Structure 1
Amino acid sequence: MMTSSEKKTIQKEFKEEMDYDELLNCMRCGFCLPSCPTYIETGHQEKHSPRGRIALMKGVADGLIEPDDDLAHSLDVCLGCRACEPVCPSGVQYGHLLEDARTILQRNKRQTVGVKMLRKGIFDELFPRQDRMEKVTGLIGFYQRSGLSKVARKVGFMNLFPESMATMEKVLPEVPKRSVMKQRPRFFEHEGEKKATVALFAGCLMDTMFFDTNNATIKLLRKAGCDVLIPENQLCCGALHGHNGELEKSKQLAKQNIEAFEAAEADYIITNAGGCSAFLIDYDHLLKDEPEWSERAKHFVGKLKDISRILVELDFQKTHRLQLPDQIITYQDSCHLRNVMKTFNEPRILLKAIEGVHFVELEGADTCCGSAGDYNIVQPEMAMQILDHKMEKVADTCAQIIVTANPGCLLEMKLGVERAHKSNEVRAMHIADVLVEALVNE
């Protein structure tokens, strides 16, 4: 429970720090309601809609509503998928409001020593330190290769964890040895005619747990005619921090990433993780109040492209033959790639260019799968409810491959396949891995 003093402090900070003009932009028209997964899944509860949450934020800023646990719960249950933004006639930047509100609440939240230590370990000591990410994921790789994973399942050790986490352990990708990660060069020369020089935003989890997918991305870029740089000193994008009330730490990560990519002097900055992309493209907003960084952030943002977009722009699907055995494939949008990066046609163009496959559009592909960063860990009940409904739509497609464009979505869809007992019939794959598998004689 919050004390009276804490509530007053939060009200004061909402009034001083929230973008009040943005709060006023919401016309309460309700266009956002059909696009909001939590509004739908909770039986149309207004407090779990974008419009309702904005009303709560404004009420706190106006001093009409006391911030309480119900307010915090409403904001915590939000997936942050930002599906409300493209359909908003007023162009309300709901994602920015949500992050600002969460930051204020987090700053004033009383926490146990254990929670403080856990957050410090994650946000200060792990994700901003790529060397530590490599060590931790390296341990996961050892756990997989040594046979310990099979023993843990056999003796029932995984039963000590929540069902979703125990199942997630089964679907984690095979993590390479740390020595393999360290041996990869930082420059790759183009194949064929040179068309561009690009810098890959490697990411923290993408360049460890999804290392093979990054390698697939590099291969595609080279074949598309790009010299590929992997800038040193780049770090985690900061999305996890920003979504969990740690915006100041996000700013520090943003600054270091901007510096790292400025040194690369590439034509484009390429991403292959929708969640990272959406946060990276908001660097100009994140640093808008810092004159020294605002213009540099805009320049950084102006170079960002998703892997699927640059491949289509360079006519990759026209200059390379793509083929797979006869099968049905479908595509689940990354919410942030679609709603923030505005990239949704390009993945479909590439997948439809693969000979031998029949592309079936997934009903509700533009709605969240329930992953949403760490949402499926902190809000497992709602996440699994959303996922199970998603898998019903997947079943309707009869697809043998579910394609995604974000690591969190990929793990969530793998989890969905496992929960549906379809692991022998259906694969979930990142689009880069699908395209590399489809390359003929290359």
Structure 2
Amino acid sequence: MNTDNSQMQAEFKERMDYDDLMNCMRCGFCLPTCPTYIESGNDETQSPRGRIALMKGVVYGEIELDSEVKRSLDMCLGCRACEPVCPSGVKYGQLLEQARDIIYQNQQPSFPVTALRKFVFHHLFPHQDRIIGLMSLLRLYQKTGMQKLARKTGLLNLLLPEHLHKMEKILPEIPSRTMMRHRPHHIHPSNKKRRKVAFFSGCLMNTMFLPINEATLKLLAYADCEIVIPKRQNCCGALHGHGGEKEIAKSIAKQNIRAFENEEVDHIITNAGGCGAFLTDYTELLKDEADWKNRASRFSDKITDISRLLVDLELDKELLTIEPRIVTYQDSCHLRNGQHTIREPRKLLRSIEGAVFHEMKDAERCCGSAGIYNITEPEMSMQILDYKMEQTKATGATVIVTTNPGCLLQMKLGIEKMGLTEQVSAVHLVELLLEAYENGLKKCPKRK
């Protein structure tokens, strides 16, 4: 890799979106929405406005692209909370991805970091079979007694940093290799078809979080949808796009477009806020490639979060019931800020008989998960999580609902940190909805 700083600065000038950089008026509306700005004690370099100023400075040649600039960009969660409040419509998330891609493709990090990035971005996430293999090893660890032994002997304390030790505790039970490999590819509705949809199953969602995918498919079937699940689909590419590996993200995007574009469906359904937002951004990702721009646009236009479709199909008017519980909702940043889906999850939760919905203060603020941010920036991530858990506790909720796997693990981590595992649980929206719907079926079996 080229490590010449002047080369990186030249690429900043050539590749950064100049119009978007200039659109920032430094009005400051973004400041109160930015978790890192707040948690850093109002440090301007940790705000969207400050980071854009740094990018401009590099483009103009006024400042060097040094470690401090890189550190500021690395500290950004990429939650995009600044975008909805920006009066100029600055696409901050795209600027951040452009800057990170230039930096990571032109610097030479240490050998361990280089090896880890190569493994994760090149050799793991673009290959579903390898993810299944890795998850199978994790299942082996969970099922053979190694996990109990490692915890009992304190070995994990010695081998893992404190934040990773805590994260190990809240990992879900991994499904069997057979379950992960043998997935359905076409599901017909039991009643008259109302919609034909394709389902984006994802990578970790179809392995580590497989029960959430199964719950999603059941709800779609209950809503009388014909479902196709294309075999050749892949990881969405969000980790690559956000992490400075734009060319790999483009390759993944093209594979997914090919997998879905011949399916004549009304919607492509997602159940992970981060994946859904990146899939909708394929149009932007491939805008400079004439052969792909229109194909990407047709693909992205069909991306629909499961909550939106279920409200559209009036699932909230069905009999949904659970045992009485106080429920609160933590927004997925990318579902809210990327897909602009805010009302629908709340409408569904409020429609459940027995669920007393308490809105959380600052529910829209990032929980600190942000992809792998809670691994790469544990100190800031835990600061943000601690604030989030204070707001959660104030609701009195016994159930925290979210709509993204990273958020789900982060909220479970917060519950573990606060010692509330006996009183509070965290679930994905579709898990609670499926429970409520099937309870309703028991009370009214003739409904379907």
Establish whether TM, by shorter chain, passes 0.5. yes
> Once the 2 structures are TM-superposed, how far is the Cα of residue 88 of structure 1 from its aligned partner?
0.1
**Which residue of the partner structure matches residue 87 of structure 1?**
85
Q: Deviations over 1:169-221 (max 9, x none)?
A: 11111111011222332111113331111111100000000001000000001
Mean Cα displacement is larger for which, 238-247 or 6-15? Answer: 6-15
Q: Structure 1 segments of 4 or more deviating over 4 A? A: none
SS at match of 2:400: strand
SS at match of 1:362: coil
Equivalences, count:
439
Counterpart AA for 2:305 = D
SS at match of 2:356: strand
Q: Select which of 319, 322, 325 maps to 1:321.
A: 319
Q: How many angstroms apart in 2 are the aligned matches of 1:407 and 1:128?
A: 18
1:206–1:214 CA contact under 8 A, matched in 2:
yes
Q: How many angstroms apart in 1 are the aligned matches of 2:216 and 2:272?
A: 11
Q: How many angstroms apart in 2 are the aligned matches of 1:178 and 1:310?
A: 30
Counterpart AA for 2:161 = P
1:25–1:92 CA contact under 8 A, matched in 2:
yes
SS at match of 1:198: strand
> Once the 2 structures are TM-superposed, how far is the Cα of residue 146 of structure 1 from its aligned partner?
1.9
**Which residue of the partner structure matches residue 374 of structure 1?**
372
Q: How many angstroms apart in 2 are the aligned matches of 1:82 and 1:181?
A: 32
RMSD over aligned CA atoms reads 1.2
Counterpart AA for 1:303 = K
Counterpart AA for 2:271 = N
**Which residue of the partner structure matches residue 8 of structure 1?**
6
> Once the 2 structures are TM-superposed, how far is the Cα of residue 370 of structure 1 from its aligned partner?
0.2
Counterpart AA for 1:228 = I
1:413 aligns to 2:411 (yes or no): yes
**Which residue of the partner structure matches residue 241 of structure 2?**
242
1:199–1:264 CA contact under 8 A, matched in 2:
yes
**Which residue of the partner structure matches residue 441 of structure 2?**
441
1:42-441 → structure 2 map (5 Å cutoff): 42-160=40-158, 161-318=160-317, 320-439=318-437, 440-441=440-441
Q: How many angstroms apart in 2 are the aligned matches of 1:397 and 1:350?
A: 19
SS at match of 2:261: helix
> Once the 2 structures are TM-superposed, how far is the Cα of residue 110 of structure 1 from its aligned partner?
1.4
> Once the 2 structures are TM-superposed, how far is the Cα of residue 107 of structure 1 from its aligned partner?
1.1
> Once the 2 structures are TM-superposed, how far is the Cα of residue 6 of structure 1 from its aligned partner?
1.9
Q: How many angstroms apart in 1 are the aligned matches of 2:72 and 2:316?
A: 44
Counterpart AA for 1:227 = E
SS at match of 1:266: coil
Q: Select which of 24, 28, 32 maps to 1:26.
A: 24
Q: How many angstroms apart in 1 are the aligned matches of 2:188 and 2:366?
A: 37
> Once the 2 structures are TM-superposed, how far is the Cα of residue 267 of structure 1 from its aligned partner?
1.4
Give the unaligned 5+ runs of structure 1. Answer: none
Q: How many angstroms apart in 1 are the aligned matches of 2:265 and 2:152?
A: 50
Q: How many angstroms apart in 1 are the aligned matches of 2:162 and 2:188?
A: 45
SS at match of 1:441: helix
**Which residue of the partner structure matches residue 446 of structure 2?**
none
Counterpart AA for 1:54 = I
Counterpart AA for 2:429 = I
> Once the 2 structures are TM-superposed, how far is the Cα of residue 263 of structure 1 from its aligned partner?
2.7
SS at match of 2:325: strand
Q: How many angstroms apart in 2 are the aligned matches of 1:107 and 1:33?
A: 29
SS at match of 1:125: helix
Q: How many angstroms apart in 1 are the aligned matches of 2:194 and 2:162?
A: 48
> Once the 2 structures are TM-superposed, how far is the Cα of residue 116 of structure 1 from its aligned partner?
1.9
Mean Cα displacement is larger for which, 258-267 or 111-120? Answer: 111-120
> Once the 2 structures are TM-superposed, how far is the Cα of residue 112 of structure 1 from its aligned partner?
2.6
Counterpart AA for 1:333 = D
Counterpart AA for 2:201 = A
Counterpart AA for 2:361 = E
Percent of aligned positions with the same letter in both sequences? 56
1:328–1:360 CA contact under 8 A, matched in 2:
yes
SS at match of 1:263: coil
Q: How many angstroms apart in 2 are the aligned matches of 1:163 and 1:312?
A: 41
Q: Deviations over 1:403-426 (max 9, x none)?
A: 000000000000000000000100
> Once the 2 structures are TM-superposed, how far is the Cα of residue 264 of structure 1 from its aligned partner?
2.4
Give the unaligned 5+ runs of structure 2. Answer: 443-448
1:141–1:177 CA contact under 8 A, matched in 2:
yes
Q: TM-score, normalised by structure 1?
A: 0.98
Counterpart AA for 2:277 = A
SS at match of 1:264: coil
Mean Cα displacement is larger for which, 366-375 or 102-111? Answer: 102-111
